[in-house]
Amino acid sequence: MMFEDNIGLLRSTDPELASLLSASGRREGLQELSSREGLPSIRAGSITLHSLYDPLKEAESWIEHYRERVDGAPEICVLGFGLGYHVLELCRSTTADIVVFEPDMGILKAAFELMDLASVIPRVRFVTGTELPRLKKGFVVLEHIPSVTLNPEYFKRMRYMLSVLGSIRRGLKIMVVGPIYGGSLPVAGYCAKALENLGHEVEFVDNSRYKDIFLSIDRITDNKAHQGQLKEMFVHFVSESVVARCGEFKPDLVFALAQAPLTGDSLQKLRDIKVPTAFWFIEDFRLMNYWQRIAPFYDYFFTIQKGEFFERLRQMGLRNFYYLPLAASVDTHRKATITEDEMKTYGSDISFVGAGYHNRRKLFEGLVDFDFKIWGNEWDLGSTLGRFIQRSGDRIGTEEIVKIFNATKININLHSSTYHNGVNPYGDFVNPRTFEIAACEGFQLVDYRSEMLALFKVGEELVCFEDLNDLRHKIRYYLHDPDKRMEIARKGNARVRKDHTYELRMEEMLDLVLSSGYELPPWHAEGEMVDTLVGAAGADTTLGRYLARFSEKGSLGLDDIVEEIRRGDGTLSDIEKIFLFMDSIKQQYTDRAKVC
């Protein structure tokens, strides 16, 4: 009866785990015992998981031992569940979110059979594998020592992964490498800013400084082969400069955006010195095929397409690739007040911002009877659309784009295609304009994409069209219903702010990197992760408790400890005396090496 009640609750929060537990048996050789008060306990091999005297009192003592960590923690990770006495007490002692790591399904099965877990199940996320869930910044780790002793290798691995995640949450050193020019350049800037907002130390390598020099190569010679050679040499120079900068900045991760000038040779050099690298390919893999050349050199490869692209990557032998859709920088793209003069300049019934791709030229010829403004470059001024093209087809800066999105009644958003005559019926990825218009609280009509339904509620947060006739019908409909336009635009704005910011994308990117075997680069070798050191010393030992005070530092070396001791006042503890002695020995050997 107890098991059925517990499983019934678990089905509402974690149906997959509920199914696994229902199908599991108890751990082989598990002994069921009773405490002096008649409460259940269990023994696995030689290890008794809870007190045979008073497991409730033991749980209270466990909480008091960790009291300083528990108080104020936004999220608590518990290594080991056993029968859950300590977690029951934890639920009574804090309102923080709780995540429990327990790899032994047999023990978890016993807990669900023997214990009333009605107060635990709604509060706790259970992790039984090695994939970390998303955790909040400032999470703390508590250990149930008997459980950790029972499964030492699993908990050693999870302790290390949590230590690295803690380091990520506290802040990494991340080098963001942008392209020389192109559509991914502003996205690189948004990513760098988002990572800074998340608390990371960011070095943004803005390669746009080389744009004029790079483009001037075409004026040196008309020979295409020579142009190609010169451009290749120049990209090699820029790429080597990034590697050189890595030696100075010592990043924990190099994160490059589409078209970033990093060659295979340079990426191999970073791999040789064990600097983790990630790449975000924010282009259409069918049109841009350079990914085939560079993808194998990156440790982590992110895409805005799945399906066929994933299959192609698998065929190349890649494993660490992930879907990461685009987003909006809500600090940049936002609702703005438009003056009367600005409304005259930027306002219209319908508008489009972007380059004049083939499909856009063709479809927009069917909109010439509307109050229509076209902004952007690569348009034919001598065509039927010429009189609608603003600023003679000059590029439009971000600040003005925000005003256009805000001033326009209906923003047309047609994804580019070089060969369709209108909407690409097989379109999949969602372009940045979709998120940016919504972030400005602008109303948009966007061509349907297969990934759209996973990102927005179509019809409620934005409106899709299928072809020219459908687009014309919806333009007329929504021009005559401003209240409906504003309602949809507000909901689209709320969705972007909730789910589609670059801060969220960068957080997801780092979580995926961590869950795929990320290791800190070797320049961290001088200091070990604090939680790893605490675990190795034993959280209940004098040394473990002393080292735990450095948990905010992430990684820790002898120099850090000695510096902290020398800043302190009062009588030295025995532990502090030992560390000072170790430092004096180290200095003696250092001085002797210098003499030799």
The DSSP-derived string for 315-370 is HTT---EEE----B-TTTS------HHHHHHH-EEEEEES---HHHHHHHGGGTTS
* Residue 501, φ and ψ in degrees, nearest 5: -100, 160
Token pair recorded at residue 6: 């517990």
Percent of the chain residues past pLDDT 90, beyond the cut = 78
CA atoms of 282 and 286, how far apart (whole Å): 12
Look at residue 508 and tell me if it is in a domain.
no
- Once rounded to an integer, what is the mean pLDDT over residues 456-464? 97
Q: Is 405:348 a contact under the CB 8 Å cutoff? A: no
Q: Does residue 593 have a pLDDT over 50?
A: no
Residue 596: pLDDT band (50, 70, 90) is very low
Tell me whether residue 156 is in a domain. Answer: no
pLDDT tens for 521-569 read 887 655 555 666 666 666 677 777 777 777 655 566 677 777 778 777 7
Residue 463, classed as helix, strand or coil, is strand
Considering the domain architecture, whether residues 146 and 227 belong to the same structural domain is answered as no
Query: 102 and 11 in one domain?
Result: yes
Model pLDDT, residue 528 = 54
Q: State phi, psi for 427 to the nearest 5 degrees.
A: -60, 140
Spell out the residues 6+ positions from residue 257 whose beta carbon is closer than 8 angstroms to its own. 176, 177, 178, 179, 184, 185, 187, 188, 191, 279, 280, 282
**What average pLDDT does this structure show over 397-406?**
97
Residue 190 lies in a domain: yes
Handedness of CA 571, 574, 575, 579 (dihedral sign): positive
In this structure, are 541 and 464 located in the same domain? no
pLDDT at 475 over 90: yes
Q: Residues 93, 203: one domain?
A: no
Note the pLDDT of residue 595.
44
216, 361: one domain: no
272, pLDDT greater than 60: yes
Whether 8 and 91 map to the same domain: the answer is yes
CA angle in degrees (0–180, nearest 5) for 272-211-244: 25
Same-domain check for residues 198 and 273: yes
State which of 500, 518, 552 marks the end of a domain: 500
Q: For 45-104, how does the pLDDT look when each residue is reduced to its tens digit (9 = 90+)?
A: 999 999 999 999 999 999 999 998 899 899 999 999 999 999 999 999 999 999 999 999
Strands, E assignment, 369-440: 372-375, 408-413
Domain count, the chain: 4
Stretch 5-11: mean pLDDT, rounded?
A: 94
Per-residue model confidence as pLDDT tens digits over 107-116: 999 999 999 9
Between 569 and 255, the higher pLDDT residue: 255
Answer whether 555's CB lies under 8 Å from 528's CB: yes
- What pLDDT, in 10s, does the model give residues 302-336? 999 999 999 999 999 999 999 999 999 999 999 99
In the chain, DSSP finds a helix count (H) and a strand count (E) of 25, 20
Specify whether 10 is located in the same domain as 97.
yes
pLDDT at site 536: 64
Predicted confidence (pLDDT) at residue 467 exceeds the cutoff of 70: yes
User: What is the distance between the alpha carbons of residues 548 and 96, in angstroms, rounded to a whole number?
Assistant: 20
Long-range CB contacts for residues 165-169, cutoff 8 Å, separation at least 24: 165/132, 165/135, 165/139, 165/511, 165/514, 166/139, 166/141, 166/529, 166/531, 166/551, 166/554, 167/252, 167/520, 167/529, 167/554, 167/555, 168/510, 168/514, 169/135, 169/136, 169/137, 169/138, 169/139, 169/199
User: Domain check: are 218 and 317 in the same one?
Assistant: yes
What is the Cα–Cα distance from 266 to 247, expressed in whole angstroms? 13
CA 546 → CA 63, 118, 342, 551, 596, distances in Å?
Answer: 18, 36, 62, 10, 36
pLDDT above 70: residue 232: yes
CATH for 34: 3.40.50
Q: Report if residue 449 sits inside a domain.
A: yes
241-250, 341-350, 577-586, range with the lowest pLDDT: 577-586
- pLDDT per residue as tens digits for the range 196-228: 999 999 999 999 999 999 999 999 999 999 899
**H/E element, 555:** strand 555-556
Q: Within a domain: residue 159?
A: no
Asked, for residue 510, whether it belongs to a domain, the answer is: no
**Which CATH number characterizes residue 225's domain?**
3.40.50.2000
Q: In this predicted structure, what is the pLDDT of residue 594?
A: 45
321/344 same-domain check: no
Same domain, 13 and 54: yes
Is 521 a member of any domain? no
Domain extent for 202: 170-327
For the range 309-312, what are the long-range contacts, defined as Cβ-Cβ under 8 Å and sequence gap of 24 or more? 309/285, 312/285
When the pLDDT of each residue in the chain is averaged and rounded to a whole number, the result is 91
What residues contact residue 115 under an 8 Å CB cut-off, 6+ apart? 2, 6, 40, 83, 84, 88
Calpha distance 97→66 (Å, rounded): 16
Do residues 490 and 545 share a domain? no
Predicted model pTM: 0.78
Least confident window among 133-142, 380-389, 396-405, 534-543: 534-543
Which of 485, 500, 515 is where one domain is finished? 500
| Half-sphere exposure for 331 (CA within 13 Å, toward CB) | 11
- Using DSSP's 3-state secondary structure scheme, residue 387 falls into helix
Residue 126 has pLDDT above 90, yes or no: yes
Share of the chain above pLDDT 70, in %: 94
- The answer to whether residue 434 is domain-embedded is yes
Residue 185 dihedral angles phi and psi, to the nearest 5°: -60, -50
CA distances from 221 to 224, 225, 227, 563 (A): 8, 10, 7, 60
Q: Is the pLDDT of residue 229 over 50?
A: yes
